[in-house]
Amino acid sequence: MSSHRYLNCSRIVGGACLLLSLHCWGMQDPNYALDWRQLLEAPDPVQLTTLASRYENGQGFRHDYARARQLYCAAARLGHLPAQRRLAWLYAHGVGAPQDVDLAAAWLKVAAAKGDLQARKFLAFLGQSGPGRQPRCTYLSRFDEYARAIIPPALGRSEIDWSRDTGLAKGVSRPTPLQIASWVTQLAPRYGLEPELILSVIQAESNFNPRAKSHKNAQGLMQLIPDTATRFGVKDITHPIQNLHGGMAYMRWLLAYFQGDVQLALAGYNAGEGAVEEYRGIPPYSETRNYVRKVIRSYGKSTHPPVEQVVAPSRILSASLGDRSPR
């Protein structure tokens, strides 16, 4: 560990050292990812839980529930009761991730088996008494960084410099469809995606216009709305390369969520995965059905090769699905 980032605690009493160390972490620049990773390599459950709480509550760091869950889980796996209870609370209330009462109960049962009274009371409140699930950590959930776009640091600036970041000739203000196709061919494999699918989506979404903007404020080549852009780590939605990264990250997530079912993934891209789950298939919206039909016709497939499992599969896949045809 480098001396300028970490304190020598040999001369400081335990608790005071921990608080001072965390204070220093909170004061450093935003590039602090190395700190929590190094802490996970040599874990101390008390430190992990304390740092998780700071991420959860935005104390010294930006709010980051995904990171908080990861740290709580590392401590919970080491048998730390407060971390097990807090992890259960987050899952039970759906904080920063979809609600999962069964998973909350699984962690509470671990704590309750050790005689923890609070865990027993919480478990009784949830009403989960059966065998239930095995305790695990859902790092790979829709809000975790594992599913975010892989945007190079050079593309993180707020101003647009397309000629520098995208290889365009100086003075060219708008990329051609051929240039965009070249970017897609290079970038899609990074997300495990077939370029043909992404090109079909771009054709339907923006007709290869990086400045396209809909009445719903969807923007760019892949028509990202601001919330989706933020969700997948896009800082500048108007930058064509960042827009592609964000759209591909979302499409990878949808294909993982719907296990390669292109029709459901496209319906989710157009109407949101929540609508797909609500209707247990393609929602009965004419816009969405026309969109799915158009992209499928261009792509020529209804299934996509497996992608990285950045999210647990949708629960509707294990149930009987409703109408999945894009009539």
Q: Work out the widest C-alpha separation in the chain, in whole angstroms.
A: 72
All residues at 6 or more sequence positions from 316 whose CB lies less than 8 Å from its CB, including other chains = 276, 277, 280, 281
Tell me the pLDDT tens digit for each residue of 229-238: 888 888 889 9
Question: Amino acid letter at 153?
Answer: P
Greater pLDDT, 169 or 92: 92
Tell me the pLDDT tens digit for each residue of 100-116: 888 889 899 989 998 99
* 315 C-beta neighbours (distance < 10 Å), count: 10
Band of residue 227 on the pLDDT scale cut at 50, 70, 90: confident
Band of residue 23 on the pLDDT scale cut at 50, 70, 90: very low
All residues at 6 or more sequence positions from 297 whose CB lies less than 8 Å from its CB, including other chains = none
Q: What is the Cα 88 distance to its own chain's centre?
A: 20
Here the tokens at position 316 are 């509707």
Tell me the pLDDT tens digit for each residue of 249-307: 999 999 999 999 999 999 999 999 989 989 999 999 999 999 999 999 999 999 999 99
The CA distance from 228 to 108, in Å, is 33
Among the listed residues 194, 205, 278, 308, the single catalytic one is: 205
Residue 294's nearest CA partner among 160, 173, 201, 175 is 201
Residue 319's nearest CA partner among 277, 268, 267 is 277
Its pTM stands at 0.56
CB 291 within 8 A of CB 204: yes
Domains of the chain: 9-126 (1.25.40.10), 169-318 (1.10.530.10)
Mean pLDDT, rounded, of the chain: 78
Give the number of C-alpha atoms closer than 13 A to the C-alpha of residue 41, restricted to the C-beta side: 7
Look at residue 87 and tell me whether its pLDDT is greater than 50.
yes
- What are 1's strand-pairing partners? none
Q: Has 145 been annotated as catalytic? A: no
Tell me the pLDDT tens digit for each residue of 26-65: 444 333 443 566 666 667 889 889 999 998 888 887 777 8
